[in-house]
Structure 1
């Protein structure tokens, strides 16, 4: 008997670039979960997995599904190696690209530097970065949360964590901006490429110098020193692996933190009762962040995996080499796991959340992102108690996320 494929259902379609999808993708995702939970999307040449059970099954199955693919399927981000070969070379050794024993080895060496306890020790540094950024905004009446606050936090935090030498912070800032832009070369203008490539070269040289200096002069409670000194049965990270990890921190940590700050501020400010609760009970903010990750996830196309062999899943056959897109934003609204999933509930039990992935590729930077967002939003609400929305957020083009470009807020009482 031949297997029925969801793509044979004429009543289902998937159009992430359709008007309105970025603002509210959830009706379309609910239709997928109900009518075609495993749906072949011809335009993206990928299987879409929209239910929680299937999502977790694929993410934890490292034997049959891999994050690696020599040629990324999305045309919008193809050709990065040709545009910025230095950065592409770095990414080959990063946790995003590694699998199997290589991934397990590097992850084991990296984990001690990124545990929740290790990240909590960074709280004073993170608080100082946020305070400094908000100090610059004290005289403003309105601001764009994305451009004025959240875009500025991750590069400053990573620079502070690595203790980039005084006087070279601007160079590191240019490197981080170039690395982030280069990750999506389909959105670049050709005239931008030469200067970006130069910033990447200079940034790699700066990070390499910093690593070598830290080898000679280790510092206490320093994340780079921890990464350099961590040893597992005589094995340590080499300089190339350390450089790749810094690049992964920059690229992986930027979009997550930037958008989680924006989406959290938006979801709090549009709920006056919640805003009052958070001001009175700041600890509630942790639950708010987890519920934002679940209820209003900024993902657009989810996590990519490639079948290493023919796999039968949910009544369809995924052929060896085919791409699977795990739609986290849909899985996190699955009623079978999250009762009343379409209700925003900050006291919900989110232990089953897969917002930061699942299995061996669970995001090691999750604790850092959570702490950055918590400090940023809590400090913003304390500093500007009359904070309110001016208008709904606007979104820009991006192949894989719901990219919030503007979130305009009023700082002071009018």
Structure 2
């Protein structure tokens, strides 16, 4: 099947899309607004898929599991992809991942997993996350300056997941290497041949460590422990098997790593750009929850969309989508859609974000959303509380990345810490 949709070529709009153009990472919103206005469903030749840029269309695709699948095996170009993973064991593991499961098995696994990842269950991690954040900030306080991305945000997610899984003392560094390698495994184009063998070693050692942890927890269950809850959860006699547990750990790492890092960085940046908002969250700490949701909506760090693949010929927004074609749901555009969000281009910390789809929508809503929110709330809240004179030293720099607006550095002046 050809990737060039003939129905689009007949009336091709005079719109271009290049997410790798200079300046796009800094401010993609003018380009996205042009797409929403002139070509809300636009076939992007370079990416070989349709860009879905309006909120209504995005929600329609995300909630329709009968006609659209997240499994890229359904893509018309799937055969040309080859093995993208660096480590075959991890690629095999992902066959049990949530995105690879059929609808029935996906629903089964989600039902088993959900109780362990509810807001109430995740809230039990607050003291551990707070201790990690405090320790990192203790280490930089005396210097008076900090790079929020590299010296703060990047040091949090792996330690939180390691703490959440109760990785044994003395093996935290091995787990840190494992988490870094898992993330890089999903972006093989960014890995040099020299790095590949090192990453293979880290991933194999890490998988062995997580397997040992699962078996230890089976023998010695812990109270108020997420891994124990995942192992013991049961629905009419059905339980998660070891491969499914390993896949879930991998999914938490991949889904929670970059998301948490960049959400911490983007929240900090947006706060420091707006002194009036910073004053508001200091006087009303409960607004930190609203801050996170509004940053996800207003300044989403995604560059590319969430992929879905048509399981049959479909008409969407007046455009024919052929079976096997890919749709990229551009959340960064949909969340700025004026038809859904009043004054969409205004940053409003008191906005009602109940209709936000920043973490997805429907059956594939992000399982790690509650964990990411809690980490960011604690990290950014502690940062501005401990350093009330916090200020931006210079505008952030962005580095190359295929799917996100990767903030490379965000330098801040901490000034005098509070007692």
Would the TM-score normalized by the shorter structure come out above 0.5?
yes
Offset of 1:3 from its aligned partner?
8.8
Q: Write the distance in 1 (CA, Å) between the matches of 2:75 and 2:272.
A: 38
Matched residue SS, 1:136: helix
- Residue 405 of structure 2: aligned partner: 402
Matched, 1:161 2:164: yes
Matched residue SS, 1:70: helix
Q: What's the TM-score once normalised by structure 2's chain length?
A: 0.95
Matched, 1:17 2:20: yes
- Residue 195 of structure 1: aligned partner: 198
Aligned equivalent of 1:289, options 284, 288, 292:
292
CA 394–73 in structure 1, closer or farther in 2 if over 3 Å, else same? farther
- Residue 229 of structure 1: aligned partner: 232
Matched residue SS, 1:233: coil
Aligned equivalent of 1:300, options 298, 303, 319:
303
Matched, 1:66 2:69: yes
Q: Write the distance in 1 (CA, Å) between the matches of 2:9 and 2:407.
A: 31
- The residue correspondences of 1:8-407 to structure 2 (distance < 5 A) are 8-70=11-73, 81=84, 83-407=86-410
User: Do 1:44 and 1:74's aligned partners in 2 also have CA atoms closer than 8 Å?
Assistant: no
CA 350–361 in structure 1, closer or farther in 2 if over 3 Å, else same? same
User: Do 2:74 and 2:309's aligned partners in 1 also have CA atoms closer than 8 Å?
Assistant: no
User: Do 1:304 and 1:323's aligned partners in 2 also have CA atoms closer than 8 Å?
Assistant: yes
CA 174–7 in structure 1, closer or farther in 2 if over 3 Å, else same? farther
Offset of 1:379 from its aligned partner?
0.5
Offset of 1:9 from its aligned partner?
3.1
Q: Write the distance in 2 (CA, Å) between the matches of 1:406 and 1:79.
A: 34
Q: Write the distance in 2 (CA, Å) between the matches of 1:281 and 1:388.
A: 19
Structure 1 unaligned regions, length at least 5: none
Offset of 1:34 from its aligned partner?
0.7
Q: CA RMSD in A?
A: 1.9
Matched residue SS, 1:138: helix
The superposition leaves residues 163-185 of structure 1 with CA deviations (integer Å, 9 ceiling, x where unpaired) of 00111111111101111111100
CA 24–82 in structure 1, closer or farther in 2 if over 3 Å, else same? closer
User: Do 1:387 and 1:412's aligned partners in 2 also have CA atoms closer than 8 Å?
Assistant: yes
The superposition leaves residues 346-367 of structure 1 with CA deviations (integer Å, 9 ceiling, x where unpaired) of 0000000000000100011111
User: Do 1:142 and 1:410's aligned partners in 2 also have CA atoms closer than 8 Å?
Assistant: yes
Q: Is the deviation greater in 185-194 or in 4-13?
A: 4-13
User: Do 2:265 and 2:407's aligned partners in 1 also have CA atoms closer than 8 Å?
Assistant: yes
CA 7–48 in structure 1, closer or farther in 2 if over 3 Å, else same? farther
Q: Write the distance in 1 (CA, Å) between the matches of 2:9 and 2:166.
A: 51
Q: Write the distance in 2 (CA, Å) between the matches of 1:129 and 1:108.
A: 30
Matched residue SS, 1:118: helix
Q: Write the distance in 2 (CA, Å) between the matches of 1:97 and 1:234.
A: 23
Q: Write the distance in 2 (CA, Å) between the matches of 1:118 and 1:254.
A: 20
Matched residue SS, 2:401: coil
CA 221–30 in structure 1, closer or farther in 2 if over 3 Å, else same? same
User: Do 1:143 and 1:408's aligned partners in 2 also have CA atoms closer than 8 Å?
Assistant: yes
User: Do 1:7 and 1:41's aligned partners in 2 also have CA atoms closer than 8 Å?
Assistant: no
CA 145–63 in structure 1, closer or farther in 2 if over 3 Å, else same? same
Offset of 1:99 from its aligned partner?
3.2
Offset of 1:102 from its aligned partner?
1.3
The superposition leaves residues 91-137 of structure 1 with CA deviations (integer Å, 9 ceiling, x where unpaired) of 22112322311111111110000011111111111111111111111
User: Do 1:143 and 1:411's aligned partners in 2 also have CA atoms closer than 8 Å?
Assistant: yes
User: Do 1:6 and 1:39's aligned partners in 2 also have CA atoms closer than 8 Å?
Assistant: no
Q: What's the TM-score once normalised by structure 1's chain length?
A: 0.96
